[in-house]
Amino acid sequence: MPPYRAASLSLVIPVFNEQDNIAPLLQRVHEALAAYSEPWEVLLVDDGSSDRTVAEATQGRIVYGSHVRCVPLARNFGQTAAMQAGIDLARGDVIATLDGDLQNDPIDIPRMVHRLLAEDLDLVSGWRKNRKDNLWLRKVPSAIANRLIRKITGVTLHDYGCSLKVFRASVIKGVRLYGEMHRFIPAWLATQTSPSRIQEEVVAHHPRTAGVSKYGLSRTFRVIIDLISVYFFMRFAARPAHFFGMLGLAFGAAGGVILSYLLVLKMLGERIGDRPLFMVGIMLVLIAVQILTTGVLSEMLSRTYYESKEVKSYHIRPAALAELELADWCQPSSTLSPTLAPS
């Protein structure tokens, strides 16, 4: 295994009404990272808690030191926004995320960081192989969601819902998270890096001992809706006209076939004006025109976005970029190479 440079580490932990878990969580974190050889920090991002979560986090800073950073959000924005806030403020070369309910075990983090650096990966995602959750309310919906996500995104992971993940900071900071997209971080990351640089590691999972779960069966439907957005952005963010174009051509072709059939009947002397199929054909053609027009407008918006904000449609690895910037020019020589000399 090739040598690698150790890296500073930031732990991002979104919390919401977890007052009873903060103190034991910080204790476990410090026990797990006691032997970590590089600088590290903890960011407790409070997502508008209504209990004593912020007070407990502040007390943790007093007990352990200023590397424990409390980030109180103005109100409850959701787990994705809280995670994004922590990632934005993280200073480490490597960023680890985990839940604040003590179900993720910080003891797994050093091993995951080691694998990320040793194998030159961009993400090591946790896999709760022996999950300690309710079968019907948590395990079954998650299994269905994971299968759907794998099928549609092409990123093969067993457990998309595990919050325990370790990222290369330079890559995850290039991804912006909105809505409830924290479940699809590996898929979003695949827009910035190769899926081969996204791997998973079996991690421990503990039953919840304090507080209450913030999730239920309703999240299954939100996952399906978000998955449609992920599919679109992964494949068509830079070329939306292709997506709408395919839909528009499909509707237009169906409408064209129907109207062509009716035209033949008309030429044979039959009445077509009072046939429902005639209206269906016209509606399909109109829908096709609207979808194609939407595609053109989406393409204009996409180009405006990339050009006005100087956002690139590609991502070069920082190490390679630094090497490219240091590259020298080939200086002209007074003596031509024999292979290039004129005959």
Determine contact, residues 68/60, Cβ cutoff 8 Å. Answer: yes
pLDDT for res 329:
62
Residues with Cβ within 8 Å of 275's Cβ and at least 6 positions away in sequence, in order, are 262
For the chain, percent of residues with pLDDT exceeding 90? 45
Residue 262 is predicted with a pLDDT of 93
Nearest to 12 by CA among 60, 55, 44: 44
- Residue 319 is predicted with a pLDDT of 64
| pLDDT number for residue 17 | 92
Q: 323 by DSSP, 3-state: which?
A: helix
- Mark the ranges of the chain whose per-residue pLDDT is less than 70: 1-4, 132-141, 179, 209-223, 305-343
For residue 56, the model assigns a pLDDT of 95
pLDDT in tens, 89-110: 999 999 999 998 888 899 999 9
The predicted-structure confidence for 73-88, as pLDDT tens digits, reads as follows 988 888 888 999 999 9
Reported pTM: 0.72
| Fold of the domain built from segment(s) 9-236 | Spore Coat Polysaccharide Biosynthesis Protein SpsA; Chain A (3.90.550)
Q: Where are the beta strands (DSSP E) in the chain?
A: 9-15, 40-46, 68-72, 94-97, 123-127, 165-168, 198-202
